[in-house]
Structure 1
Amino acid sequence: MSFEGQVAIVTGAGGGLGREHALALARRGAKVLVNDLGGAVDGSGGSVSAAQAVVDEIKALGGEAMANGASVTDWVAVQAMVQQAVDAWGRVDILVNNAGILRDKSFAKMYMDDFRLVVEVHLMGAVHCCKAVWPHMQAQNYGRIVMTTSSSGLYGNFGQSNYGAAKMAQVGLMQTLAIEGAKYGIHVNALAPTAATRMTEGLMSAEVLAALQPEAVVPAMLVLAHASAPTRTILCAGAGSFEAAHITLTEGIHIGLGEQAPELLAEQLAQVCDRRNEQVPQSGSAQGTLEVGKALAARAPTV
């Protein structure tokens, strides 16, 4: 699986998963812009030294790389980051949105500033990066964007309402960008990693952390960033295991209007939630199409 001649930007690549992503892409031939603010897990502080250390590793392997210390929350700095790659290498083929922070606390104790900042980094950081690479990918009729979602967003996790909301929002962003990017050859996917990084220290036992090496997630990223990548796919990866997550729609039922509709719905909720014959809609309009179709069928005269 080669990335020879391609240019990749990996955010949050100064350590952990991002570092592994950057190294893997470089080993397979990509030129890599290594972005990292160089801050603490909670987003405080900053230094380009973390990104530069990964660049030095890549160069030691015979690869080509540049460091960038922009915060993904800074739209102007993100635009300059993308331009840095374009000025040096002429294009951007791959964007891996990996940058993130944690400010965990139960919702009852959560400070709104902590909620807002986590959303700003994960969601708006991804938005800024996607927006900055988008015109370049449109112009070249090619692009691969990998969002980093999380099981905390897909399925929830105690103490991570801010992180979970931001991570699920990236899936929503992926869904629409994949639709809009299709005619330009831009594929957009999401990766839900489970890995031992400084963001997961203290959350898992030593034995579990030992099994969850960050490099075990990398194959999923490479598949989603490659020329042969699918689009609108959520791959889950951890400890060398891989799964796909889907947002599905059940077949449901038609109840119609009327004063007793709430009671009828409550009585038949189990049938509404029955997962037999569920589908993975190709766009948001599929929900309306299904609902209107059932309503029209219910009105059709019986023969």
Structure 2
Amino acid sequence: MLVLVIGDLHIPFRAHDLPAKFKKLLVPGKIQQIICTGNVCNTDYLHYLRTIAGDVHLVKGDYDDNPHFPSSLILNHPPLRIGVLHGHQVVPAGDTQSLAAVARAMDVDILLTGHTHRFEAFELEGRFFVNPGSATGAWHPTWPLRDPASLAALSERTAAKTKEDATIADKKADEPKPKKGAKTSDNKKNDDSAKDKPSASELKDANKDAESNKDGDEEEEEAKEAAAPVPSFALLDIQGAVVVTYVYQLIDGDVKVEKIEYRKNLDSNSLALQRGASGNAVAVGASATNYGQYGGR
């Protein structure tokens, strides 16, 4: 069974539409079920999802105003139980241990969440966790907004600093080496250690420069990462206890695909107990507020 996991569209408030290259891939007749992790924000787009597959399940995001959307869901695909939660109830957002606690509380094998607008897939405590990211690449408060001018200025400063460091290194490499038997700087240091020893203020300035360089490198990395979320969604190919996840990401105008496999460890008890009918959804929105003790609000 092929299941589309998609969420955090934020249409039309933070994005106008799905990327055209995603729309070409999401055609009717190929996908059997859709699970939306919330923040559709637009009824028309909910109808659009139903044109891709008639079996659509979704949870309420923190920006969805439809009171009829459940806070969480459990979908049964024997022998797998799949939990769905938008993720704004989890604090800190996207925290692995908090997500693991939610999965234990829901008693699910797979937990699908959104909210962070970052794709993630990992296995923990024998359970599988997937966050499909934002299908539109919509911005999120955890992604600081950087205008192009500030990013360009930061890049120029970094390039200038790199050039300066290279120039200093070249000058040191070109310095003549002392001849054999000549009095070296080490000998001079022994003769006049007080003169050559750096002062406390010089050491302080050197440390300050090192910290500044470190902060600049970290700032550049954060700026690159925070420039914009990467549009993404996931397809789950569910075959019994095995789930193959295909992650689609729009990077530099091209769709990149990654493959991740999860296999549930079936013991004798889980083989004997087939929990629920295939595709049967149970809304557990009323109990979702109980996740406060597991890191929620």
TM-score, normalised to structure 2, is 0.32
- Whichever structure has more helix as a proportion of its residues is 1
Q: Which has the higher contact order (CA 8 A, sep 6+)?
A: 2
TM-score, normalised to structure 1, is 0.32
- Whichever structure has more strand as a proportion of its residues is 2
